[in-house]
Structure 1
């Protein structure tokens, strides 16, 4: 399976996107409790109603703690792709969830904290940790991996013979201890790990002989790579950490959606901040300037068009918001060190 296949929106996501674009001032900017989501659907008509799913899958039928049930396949490990533009409904699990950002970015609202995750980030969510995931770009490809206790016994026996943060995280599941609500490894789009996740997702879809065993092998290899190479990037959540940055993501979402026309002045006015304060707020919480985020959104859109269309460089530069193809060429060299044509050729080689 290739990443470019996962970048294509399916029918459900296209309809979700239409709803989002029609009312993005109000929807999807902050996580919803199940009760709030239910009232929202009672008041207005939307394409999809997930209340029955949450009621069927949650422990008390109230949409919060999701348990293993007949709606999931009878496997020790379950793998799926997160639906883009879906409502971020707060919930938790009685199993472990791994969230991997294969492409783009997302916001993971965990215990009241809005955490921006980017390409290559690998998040481990402990049972009972309340969270909601928000992905509002065509570029966002998020893979969810669900692990039940039986998978600890069947697929990760060797893991418990080792020491380390990942081992301790899984031990808390078995011992019902509280080591950490979440952990995030920042792999910066490591190509090897990306290909490993593509393999395990393909294994789950194809369901060839012993596919769960193979997924277990791949996950074990990923865990070893994370432990070897990315401990210095590890972010461990604390239960008392409830400082919220949820007001920041609506701004980032608006920038990404309207990067061709948005200015710092209009953004500051919309959120009732002064330009200087907003500029500092964005820089402090993202490490990036407003201008950098706009340029990043423009080049990300150009990359997606190069990968998924047969448009000419001139047409792509216009759709991506560049003045002309020479300006796009200049930005590609500035950001990626190569021209658009050379970058596309490198992606084709990587997919072989």
Structure 2
């Protein structure tokens, strides 16, 4: 499948979309047997749980029949086109969802707040965030990426291991064990190269061949790397920081020097007053200096646990903890499991 064929198929109205256009309420009946939980608003929230069966997501879109010779990609990832004109109940799910507005717009209700995404925008939703996509038109082409937690453990974080804080800056909310009940929006705008990357990724997913798994994972690394750039550029516009300040440069410095750097030494390195630097970091990242250093240490520890034979004591020393008990306490608070349990589960 080439990009031109992909574009034509995305624009086509499928049989289900035509049915939804004729009777939008019809689709709601599909969810009558789903489990529900009560919300603060006392409105029932439906539970979407696809941990054990991503295939029914991957194969449900008849626009893109899968190649049976290479159908089992074992990616912990599914990509599908949102069915236009369909109605969804407010729901939560146990996977991470990324909505990409390929064309048109996407109106969502997230945590009771109306959010409107324009063409090129991406919204990443953490697990257990109540949300739904509202009314759509024929021009609203929305691509849904459904990513199970293990995808970030085995395929994503390991490929972005060298970025430490920078990768965690995006995916800390979607780590293997934590539910943060939040979302983040990226605005790629008219970035043609980013759209081409997304098209190439979809072509590979919808028409898998030999080595498609590796290629898809590589495209996902590129996608998230581009989002890091996008986020940094948007933050620079939104905050009146020094013209010489580059957020990614600061985060990279923290990654490289997390064992020895202090708030004062880092502020001095970037020609900031410590108080201003503290406010700047909190404003543009949402984290304090101490929290960012902690994030880098825990990221490094998790990588060493799953990619080395070092003992827990050696790992604690490697990331700057001389007190093993204190390291255990911090690790359990961050990952909700001991280092040994983490190694056993994710190695």
TM-score range, shorter chain: 0.5 to 0.7
Q: Which residue of 2 aligns with 1:133?
A: 133
Q: Deviations over 1:287-326 (max 9, x none)?
A: xxxxxxxxxxxxxxxxxxxxxxxxxxxxxxxxxxxxxxxx
* Gapped regions of structure 1 (runs ≥ 5): 21-40, 235-352
CA distance in 2, matches of 1:48, 1:12: 13
CA distance in 1, matches of 2:219, 2:116: 26
Q: Which residue of 2 aligns with 1:115?
A: 115
* Larger deviation, residues 225-234 vs 126-135: 225-234
User: How many angstroms does 1:98 deviate by?
Assistant: 0.8
Q: Match of 2:108, SS?
A: strand
Q: Which residue of 2 aligns with 1:69?
A: 52
Q: Which residue of 2 aligns with 1:15?
A: 19
CA distance in 2, matches of 1:63, 1:209: 38
Report if the CA contact (8 A) 2:27-2:87 is conserved.
no
CA distance in 2, matches of 1:203, 1:12: 24
TM value normalised by structure 1 = 0.53
What pairs with 1:43-58 in structure 2 (closer than 5 Å)? 46=26, 49-51=29-31, 55=34
Instruction: Assess, with a 3 A threshold, how the Cα gap between structure 1 residues 211 and 227 changes in structure 2: closer, same or farther.
Output: same
Q: Match of 1:55, SS?
A: coil
Q: Deviations over 1:178-231 (max 9, x none)?
A: 556111111113111111111111111112123232111111111112222442
Confirm or deny that 1:173 pairs with 2:152: no
CA distance in 2, matches of 1:175, 1:188: 30
User: How many angstroms does 1:160 deviate by?
Assistant: 3.7
CA distance in 2, matches of 1:84, 1:55: 21
Report if the CA contact (8 A) 1:59-1:67 is conserved.
no
Report if the CA contact (8 A) 1:105-1:135 is conserved.
no
Report if the CA contact (8 A) 2:84-2:138 is conserved.
yes
Q: Which residue of 1 aligns with 2:68?
A: none
Aligned residues: 209
Q: Which residue of 1 aligns with 2:196?
A: 195
Instruction: Assess, with a 3 A threshold, how the Cα gap between structure 1 residues 159 and 47 changes in structure 2: closer, same or farther.
Output: closer
CA distance in 1, matches of 2:113, 2:200: 31
Q: Which residue of 2 aligns with 1:186?
A: 187
Instruction: Assess, with a 3 A threshold, how the Cα gap between structure 1 residues 138 and 166 changes in structure 2: closer, same or farther.
Output: farther
CA distance in 1, matches of 2:9, 2:176: 40
CA distance in 1, matches of 2:206, 2:171: 25
User: How many angstroms does 1:92 deviate by?
Assistant: 1.3
Q: Which residue of 2 aligns with 1:310?
A: none
Q: Match of 1:9, SS?
A: coil
Report if the CA contact (8 A) 2:128-2:179 is conserved.
no
* Gapped regions of structure 2 (runs ≥ 5): 39-44, 59-73, 236-347
CA distance in 1, matches of 2:185, 2:86: 22
User: How many angstroms does 1:164 deviate by?
Assistant: 4.9
Confirm or deny that 1:5 pairs with 2:9: yes
CA distance in 2, matches of 1:47, 1:147: 23
Report if the CA contact (8 A) 2:92-2:129 is conserved.
yes
Q: Deviations over 1:220-268 (max 9, x none)?
A: 111112222442336xxxxxxxxxxxxxxxxxxxxxxxxxxxxxxxxxx
CA distance in 1, matches of 2:94, 2:169: 18
User: How many angstroms does 1:167 deviate by?
Assistant: 2.2
Q: Match of 2:85, SS?
A: coil
Report if the CA contact (8 A) 2:127-2:181 is conserved.
no
User: How many angstroms does 1:7 deviate by?
Assistant: 1.3
Report if the CA contact (8 A) 1:169-1:179 is conserved.
no
Instruction: Assess, with a 3 A threshold, how the Cα gap between structure 1 residues 217 and 231 changes in structure 2: closer, same or farther.
Output: same
Report if the CA contact (8 A) 1:101-1:119 is conserved.
yes
CA distance in 2, matches of 1:75, 1:210: 12
Report if the CA contact (8 A) 2:92-2:128 is conserved.
yes
